[in-house]
């Protein structure tokens, strides 16, 4: 009888250990990191008036923002146009704005290396803004 009780206790410990081990295993692969960005579309006139500069059709401009500028700008940002994108989604954004594959990868990589900044690209009278 003692052997039966001992065997039952051992079996119970093995089952409990196995159950605890399995609960610690992730069931899904780790999700890729996301980056908070804002997108907007403005007219070229709005762009040139706001930034007091020109942007040639078919070109882009990018600028890293120092913390002081970001601190002035960020309170005005809302959830409108706000996204949490993966690297692949950032790449697809650039492809959708007419960037070639190599250029899309370069701009995505640049954006990921900076703390805050923006990229503006012009197509005709439309300027696409991506802010991080």
- Rounded CA separation 116/6 (Å): 63
The larger pLDDT score, comparing residue 20 to residue 59, is at: 59
Given a cut of 80, whether residue 76 has pLDDT beyond it is yes
Q: Considering the chain, what percentage of its residues have pLDDT values greater than 70?
A: 79
β pairing state of 126-131 and 35-43? antiparallel
Per-residue pLDDT band for 20 (boundaries 50, 70, 90) equals: very low
Contact 120, 61 (CB under 8 A): yes
Tell me the whole-structure pTM to 2 decimals: 0.74
- Rounded CA separation 119/38 (Å): 11
Q: What is the mean pLDDT of residues 50-68?
A: 93
Given a cut of 70, whether residue 60 has pLDDT beyond it is yes
Q: Considering the chain, what percentage of its residues have pLDDT values greater than 90?
A: 73
Per residue in 107-116, pLDDT (tens digit) is 999 999 999 9
Q: What is the mean pLDDT of residues 126-132?
A: 96
Q: What is the mean pLDDT of residues 61-88?
A: 94
């Amino acid at each position: 009888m003692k052997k039966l009780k001992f065997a039952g206790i051992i079996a119970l410990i093995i089952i409990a250990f196995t159950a605890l081990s399995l609960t610690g295993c992730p069931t899904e692969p780790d999700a890729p990191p996301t980056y908070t960005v804002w997108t907007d579309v403005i007219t070229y006139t709005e762009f040139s008036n706001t930034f007091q500069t020109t942007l040639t059709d078919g070109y882009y401009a990018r600028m890293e923002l120092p913390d002081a500028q970001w601190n002035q700008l960020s309170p005005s940002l809302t959830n409108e146009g706000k996204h949490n994108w993966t690297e692949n989604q950032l790449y697809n954004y650039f492809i959708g704005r007419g960037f070639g594959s190599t250029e899309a990868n370069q701009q995505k990589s640049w954006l990921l290396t900076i703390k805050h900044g923006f990229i503006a690209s012009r197509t005709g009278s439309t300027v696409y803004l991506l802010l991080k």
